[in-house]
Every structure is written in structure tokens, then in C-alpha cells.
């Protein structure tokens, strides 16, 4: 009877030890799982950092025979700039007076500089391009050409041999002839003001002679 009791106690003790052993193993499994997960995340972070550094400081080498030369020691290829030919634009002009060419005409700024260097009695042969600001409304026997800084050139035509259209205002034009500086009397100014369609009130305000940039044109081109 005593042997049976001792044997039963031994079996109970063995069962108890087995349960404790299983509990320990379960705890170890729970600890190992989160540790492995953390290590994987750190590894991924390191790989990402390495990729970023490689992009910022790339290392490229060129093989030549048995050796390699770093890219920074190689001469970079020059940039190639492609330039397309600009399309040519054809401009049509109506010609008046002598036949003249449209090329090599001064700009309005360049023409003003020419006038500023002239003294009374000086005359220069010149050709320039600008906009027509006013035309004689009776028969087109004179016109005004725009210069820079709100200045104008008063243009008449050689020997009154030709006139321009009375509606040529605001047209681009090229004129060739001689430029000079002159003083226009009060009577002449009033005459031109009347031809230009000025009101009587505006005409009456003209009371003093005026120094003007004059031009005698022998040929005119007006852009159509």
C-alpha cells in the first residue's frame, strides 16, 4: 500500500514539472518573436539610408583596359545647343517718290541722336524708319514721323514732287533724304496746324517761332 502511495506522488510531481517546463517554453516563444521583428525593421532602415547616400554621392567609373578612371577625372562632354532657323517674314510697302530700299534704315532713337548733333545750317543724308504720327489732311503734302522721347520730325517732300495718302497716320514708314534743323515761323506753324485739322483754339495758342527737326524726303516707303 505504501508503495502505491509513493508511486502516485512521484507521478504527480513529474506532471507538475512538465507543466512548468511548457510554461517556460511558451514565455520564451513570446519573447523571441518581438525581438526578431525589431531587428528586421532596423535592417530595412539601414538599407534605405545606404540607398539615399548612394544617390547623393554616386560613384561612376570608366573602364580603360585593366584600369578604371573615376568619372570626376574625365572631361565632361560640351553641351549642344540646337538653334532653329527663324522664319523670314515678308513685308510689303507702297513706294512714293524715288525708289528706295528698306534695308539699313536707322531707328527712331538713332535718328534723334543724329538730330541732337546738328546745328542750324547743318544737313545730313540719312534714311530712317519710324511711325507716321500726322499727315496733311488736304492732300498729303507733309507728314510727321515719331522720334524717341516724344520728339517728332517734320517731313516735307522734295520739290513737292509727290505726296502720301492722307490716311497714312499710324503707319510704319521708311524715309530717305536729308535731315536738318530749322526754325518755323508762327505763320507757318498756324498754316500746318490748319492743314492738320487742328481746332481754331489750338491754332490761336501758337505765338512763338519753333525750332524743329526737319526732313526733306526724296523717297518714302509706307508699310501696307
**Cα three-residue angle 33-34-38, rounded to 5 degrees:** 125
SS (H, E, C) 172-184: EEEEEEEEEEEEE
| In a shared domain, residues 48 and 132 | no
Grid coordinates belonging to 139: 492732300
Nearest to 224 by CA among 101, 132, 93: 93
| In a shared domain, residues 176 and 106 | yes
Residue 29 lies in a domain: yes
Residues of the domain holding 143: 93-223
pLDDT tens digits, one per residue of 36-79: 333 333 333 333 434 444 444 455 555 555 566 565 555 555 55
pLDDT tens digits, one per residue of 4-31: 555 555 555 555 545 444 443 434 444 3
pTM: 0.56
pLDDT tens digits, one per residue of 160-216: 999 999 999 999 999 999 999 988 889 988 988 888 888 999 999 998 888 889 999
| In a shared domain, residues 46 and 106 | no
pLDDT at 116 over 90: yes
Amino acid at each position: 500500500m505504501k508503495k502505491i502511495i509513493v508511486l502516485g506522488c512521484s507521478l504527480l510531481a513529474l506532471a507538475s514539472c512538465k507543466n512548468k517546463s511548457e510554461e517556460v517554453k511558451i514565455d520564451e516563444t513570446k519573447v523571441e518573436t518581438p525581438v526578431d521583428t525589431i531587428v528586421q525593421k532596423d535592417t530595412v532602415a539601414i538599407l534605405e539610408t545606404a540607398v539615399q547616400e548612394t544617390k547623393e554621392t554616386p560613384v561612376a567609373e570608366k573602364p580603360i583596359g585593366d584600369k578604371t578612371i573615376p568619372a570626376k577625372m574625365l572631361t565632361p562632354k560640351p553641351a549642344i545647343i540646337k538653334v532653329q532657323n527663324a522664319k523670314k517674314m515678308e513685308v510689303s510697302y507702297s513706294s512714293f517718290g524715288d525708289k528706295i530700299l528698306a534695308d539699313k534704315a536707322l531707328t527712331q532713337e538713332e535718328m534723334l541722336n543724329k538730330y541732337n548733333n546738328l546745328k542750324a545750317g547743318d544737313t545730313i543724308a540719312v534714311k530712317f524708319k519710324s511711325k507716321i504720327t500726322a499727315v496733311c489732311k488736304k492732300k498729303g503734302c507733309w507728314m510727321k514721323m515719331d522720334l524717341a522721347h516724344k520728339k517728332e520730325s517734320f517731313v516735307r517732300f522734295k520739290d513737292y514732287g509727290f505726296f502720301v495718302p492722307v490716311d497714312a497716320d499710324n503707319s510704319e514708314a521708311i524715309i530717305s533724304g536729308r535731315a536738318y534743323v530749322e526754325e518755323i515761323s508762327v505763320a507757318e506753324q498756324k498754316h500746318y496746324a490748319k492743314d492738320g485739322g487742328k481746332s481754331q483754339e489750338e491754332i490761336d495758342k501758337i505765338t512763338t517761332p519753333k525750332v524743329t527737326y526737319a526732313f526733306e524726303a526724296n523717297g518714302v516707303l509706307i508699310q501696307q
